[in-house]
Amino acid sequence: MPIAEDPEPRPSGGDEPGGSDPSGTGKKDPFADLVLDEEFIKDAAVKEQSGRTRMLSARWKHTPPVDPGGRRSVNDGPRAPKRRFGRKPKPAELDPWGNPRPRRRLEWRAPLFVVLAVAVLVAVLNVDALRDWYSFRWGAGAASAPHSPVPTVAPETAKPTTAPPKAPEEQPTVDHPWAGSPAEGWPNGAEAFVLPDAKATGVFSAEQVTAQLQLVRDYLTAANLDPKTVGGGRPDAALALLLREERDGAVSALDNPSEKNDPTSWFSRFDPRDAIPVGDVVKVQGRMTYEGDGDKGVLVHTDFSFVYALRPGPDAAKRAMSPRPSTGAPQPTKPAAPRDGAAKPAGLLTPTGDVAGDTWTTRTIVRRVETFRFYDPGRYPVDPRKIAFGESQTDPANSACGVYDGYFHPQFDQFAELQSDAPGSRPTGPAVDPYDRSKDIQSADECGSVSRT
């Protein structure tokens, strides 16, 4: 390996060509063939320090460097413990060699994270139980059953093929009147009356057909959704939309109700002494279609189910003991106690505006399949702004059988123990699902029961 020192003393003089020795000894100059290239520099055994390194080394001999702070190394030793809240730091423990021994910290965070992770996992796997526990333990209505809402359902566009799925079994109350019912997701009131696209039919133009469909919608609203009508009042708004012959028949039924001439075939009404609507919301599901009737005019077909949420009236328990309500003033009767203590039945003489929010309620479902006829005014002496009935079928569910006083009479769970064994007081026919709209209305002579309300 070449080095920078001379191997031997150089001659004091001589400049013969080829680097020969001027002394005449015949020895060659050792530096004659030396090339100071990159390879020579890399292979050098002794390397010169940079100018900055030599300068700093000379300066630090007299003035050692000062640590600016903020950075520590392993050679700095242990840092002085901080004093918290004026407390004196504990002396550091030393190992056998006199070095400070690191203090063990209590790792409390890792176990806490594990516990929290397990709690979150359990809550995710059993959300319903957690919600039920919170509702019963801390909820404002701890005495009432927990409520699980159902998804929203759009109005029908065609006949369904199956019944609605079964909702969780819950006791409906004034605060949650639709609990446990698939109708909770149904449209509210007239939102379900979606009019089909009107086209010119027979002698009627598209505008006239549209007016006829709107007229049917107005009648359905007045006969089944008007709070005055549902609350037991006279359905004047609905009567005003009927032809004179139809109106006379409905008025006769209202004035003299009977089995063959029952006003509930036209209107949805409840006796306020027996059942009081909970709010003004009625859940509705169904569809509306129309077709031409040759030279006679247009037929509008409707198939809607109306679900009414009701709370007991002041005479509800009395009616439970007697299937035929009396027309006299209500008499005080001792109310039945709740079966499980989870909710409060309404007092029999409690004012209608003073009822607790956890009072048990019930529902009555009324399905109406009706056909409305609009005659050609050029051939028949009719008012085109009035309605005539074609065919009509009414199927009420959760209403007393054998009672024809012009009202629906629902049965309440809190008065089930007071139900008498008188004829017509208890259903005897097979149970049916009142929410199953995939089937047609079946006429039966027996008083049937319902599988759900």
Residues spanned by the domain of 276: 182-435
pLDDT on residue 124: 73
pLDDT of residue 326: 42
Is 284 inside a domain boundary? Answer: yes
Within its chain, how far is the Cα of 143 from the centroid?
23
**What does the pLDDT read at residue 87?**
62
Residue 4 lies in a domain: no
Per-residue pLDDT in tens (0 to 9) along the chain, 453 residues: 455 555 555 555 555 555 555 555 556 667 777 777 777 777 776 667 778 888 888 887 777 776 665 555 555 555 665 555 556 666 667 766 667 776 666 566 778 888 888 888 877 776 555 555 554 444 444 444 455 667 788 899 999 999 888 888 888 999 999 998 999 999 999 999 999 999 999 899 999 999 999 999 999 999 999 999 999 999 999 999 999 999 999 999 999 999 889 999 999 999 999 999 998 999 999 999 999 988 788 999 999 999 999 999 888 877 777 655 444 333 333 333 333 434 444 433 343 444 556 788 999 999 999 999 999 888 888 898 899 988 889 999 998 888 889 999 998 888 776 665 444 455 566 788 899 999 998 776 667 788 888
pLDDT at 53: 82
Give domain status of residue 322, yes or no. yes
In a domain, 300, yes or no: yes
Q: What is the pTM of this model?
A: 0.63
Is residue 89 in some structural domain? no
Is residue 276 a part of any domain in this protein? yes
Number of domains in the chain: 1
The per-residue pLDDT for 378 is 85
Q: Classify residue 404: in a domain, yes or no.
A: yes
The pLDDT score that the predictor gives to residue 195 is 95
The reply to whether 79 falls in a domain is: no
